[in-house]
Structure 1
Amino acid sequence: MKVLIVGSKGQLGRSLLATAPDDVTIVSHGSDTLDITDGDAVDTTVAQVEPDIVFNAAAYTAVDKAEADEEMALAVNATSVGHLARATHRAHARFVHVSTDFVFDGLSGRPYAPDAPTAPLGVYGRTKLAGELAAGEDALIVRTAWVYAATGANFVRTMLRLMVERSEVRVVADQIGTPTYAPGLADALWTMARKRARGIHHYTDAGACSWYDFAVAIQEEALSAGLLAQAVPVIPIRTVDYPTPAPRPHYSVLDKTSAFDILGGPAPHWRTPLRAMIAEIKHG
């Protein structure tokens, strides 16, 4: 089996490479080697590779910056998805596209099912929703949330840095969702793709928490592992106390039932992979 991975330099792309089954041949591209907003370049690359599966792990994820950069966000999150989907279809391959909890408005109060009405609050969510439409009905679209890994820019690494640099850390406590460990997401994507799943599904780790809860757990696990020398106060604050250009959904827990059925069981509770990630950082 031959697989093309687009967005291979990001957290998820690197995790897809690291968790790839032994029986696949991979061709990977980051933004430095393939401009996915260039339809001709995408057509040429897919035709040359002749893949069985195309994973799109590329995205414009700067949520706040997108509010003032809608043209680029739309190009990366939607237009390029159309390029990839069409080229994949012509190659008779399967297309796997990753989307986000930000397609929802966060007003539900209960986990969002894959067929729940979408209502994105900002540019990032709107462009990602447009990307889902561009991916087409034959694609496997997996929405996820709060992705982190041992490398790259993410909430866990930011908190670990701030807990060393500052005497206290203030974290929003009224936004609820679920962390997702990138290697676990990547492994799930491989399994779902090889099982020829299609349509929209949700995948995160199990459980739910606020960003404040997540930060407290990060500090506890880092202290236990000896990655942090001492604790600092973690102060819960409201969203209104930390204004951002882009609005965030207050509740974006996803219903993962259909994905877990395909995978043959649930993902681990979010605290378990967090502990593994902390250990990975400590041991290099």
Structure 2
Amino acid sequence: MTRPRILLIGSAGQLGFELARVLPACGEVVALDHAALDLADADAVVAAVRGARPGLIVNAAAYTAVDRAESEPGQADAINARAPGILAEEAKRAGAILIHYSTDYVFDGEATAAYDEQAVPHPINTYGRSKLGGERAIAAAGGASLVLRTSWVYGLRGQNFLTTMRRLAAERDELRVVADQIGTPNWTRSLADATAVLVGRGTSELAERAGLYHLSATGSTSWFDFARAIFAGADRPRVVPITSAEYPTAARRPRRSVLAIGKFAETFGFALPPWDEMLRACLA
């Protein structure tokens, strides 16, 4: 099986960093961070793909500032909606595969059961709408792409729930954390490792199995219980549950955005571990 030339976009981000660690075992990696490629620059995106001549594109870059997106919808759309469509069109032109990550925030969170890939998206914030726009632009391009929705992404780098909780714990004795939003935390390293498994299957298999998948740990929790798990066994801080109404934000969040993972597991023959097991591995 020929090792593909892999264009990794967003290589300095929290997920991209982990992908840059594992993808070289799968092929020759051309890694571009934000300084090397601004996804808001459409011409630069085209030039980057044509210059790299990849057999596989992994897009780990995104506009992820959920609240700021409410005041910067144009920037969010440029990066999350328009750029993925361009990548998909260029991948099709080059005969390459595109792997792109999306989000549980394409859903409104009103369902009582986990969302599968057939569920109708209904985003309730600008970030979610921009990510759904990216999914639709990729589908419209008509090439061989894998869109992997995931949720509540965290890691030891960058700005995410885990690093925020740790920073605040160093400053405060008590943390007030929302307890009425339910989802599934996912460690960047686990997502990267799963992506490497997919890439290792070869571009032919990925082309045959192109489509939309939910890639997530099993189980679900609240932000409050996630925080309690982060500090399990520690004397401080004290973690106190609050409601979403007590912590107003610029962007609305889904109340329950758990993703059903059956399609991914059935198609590719493996699944991610439970979220709490994943967290323990991250903190070990």
User: If the length of structure 2 is used for normalisation, what is the TM-score?
Assistant: 0.92
State the number of aligned residues: 272
Distance 1:41 1:8, change over 3 A: same
What does residue range 158-173 of structure 1 map to in structure 2 within 5 Å? 158-173=164-179
Query: What is residue 151 of structure 1 aligned with on the other side?
Result: 157
CA distance in 2 between partners of 1:20 and 1:29 (Å)? 13
What is aligned with 1:49? 52
Instruction: Kindly indicate whether residue 241 of structure 2 is the aligned counterpart of residue 265 of structure 1.
Output: no
Contact persistence 1:66–1:123 (CA under 8 A): yes
Q: Give 5+ residue unaligned stretches, structure 1.
A: 224-229, 280-284
1:62 is matched with 65
Which residue is 1:24 aligned to?
27
Shift of 1:164: 2.2
Per the alignment, residue 225 of structure 2 pairs with 213
2:256 to 251, 255, 259: 251
Q: Aligned residue for 1:73?
A: 76
Which residue in 1 is equivalent to 2:245? 240
Q: Partner amino acid for 2:84?
A: V
Q: Say which of 95, 115, 131 aligns to 2:134.
A: 131
Matched, 1:277 2:274: no
Distance 2:167 2:265 in 1: 34
Q: For residue 134 of structure 2, give the secondary structure of its aligned residue in structure 1.
A: helix
Instruction: Name the SS of the counterpart of 1:246 in structure 2.
Output: coil
Following the alignment from structure 1 to structure 2, what is the Cα–Cα distance between the partners of residues 35 and 235? 40
Q: Out of 269-278 and 94-103, give the one that drifted further.
A: 269-278
Aligned twin of 2:197 = 191
**Among 100, 112, 116, the residue aligned to 2:115:** 112
- Residue of structure 1 in register with 2:185 after alignment: 179
The residue identity in structure 2 corresponding to 1:16 is: L
Pairing 1:4-15 to 2, within 5 Å after superposition: 4-15=7-18
Tell me by how many angstroms 1:21 deviates: 5.2
Once the two structures are TM-superposed, the CA of residue 192 in structure 1 deviates from its matched residue by 2.9
The one-letter code matched in structure 1 to 2:251 is: A
Aligned to 1:227: none
CA RMSD of aligned residues (A): 1.3
Secondary structure class of the residue paired with 2:67: helix
* Distance in 2 between residues matched to 1:66 and 1:189, nearest whole Å: 27
Say if 2:220 and 2:258, in contact at 8 Å, map to a contact too. yes
Query: Residues 26 and 196 of structure 2 are in contact (CA less than 8 Å); yes or no, is this contact kept in structure 1?
Result: no
CA distance in 2 between counterparts of 1:86 and 1:37 reads: 16
Residue 275 of structure 1: how far off its partner (Å)? 1.4
Asked if 1 retains the 8 angstrom alpha-carbon contact of 2:46 and 2:86, the reply is yes
The Cα of 1:156 is off from its aligned counterpart by: 0.8
Question: Partner of 2:91 in structure 1?
Answer: 88
| 2:42 is equivalent to residue 36 of structure 1 | no
Please report how far the alpha carbon of residue 191 of structure 1 lies from its aligned counterpart in structure 2 after TM superposition. 2.5
Whole-angstrom CA distance in 1 between matches of 2:8 and 2:147: 15
Task: Give the conservation status (yes or no) of the 8 Å contact 1:192–1:262.
Answer: no
The AA in structure 2 aligned to 1:263 is: F
Name whichever of 161-170 and 240-249 sits farther off.
161-170
Structure 2 gap segments, 5+ residues each: none
**In structure 2, how many angstroms separate the alpha carbons of the residues matched to 1:241 and 1:143?**
29
What SS does the corresponding residue of 1:143 show, helix, strand or coil? strand
Q: Which whole-Å deviations, capped at 9, do the CAs of 1:182-240 have from their partners, x for residues lacking one?
A: 1111122232343403111001111100000100000006x3xxxxxx32211000000
The whole-number CA distance in structure 1 between the counterparts of 2:198 and 2:121 is 23
The percentage of counterpart residues that share the same residue type is: 43
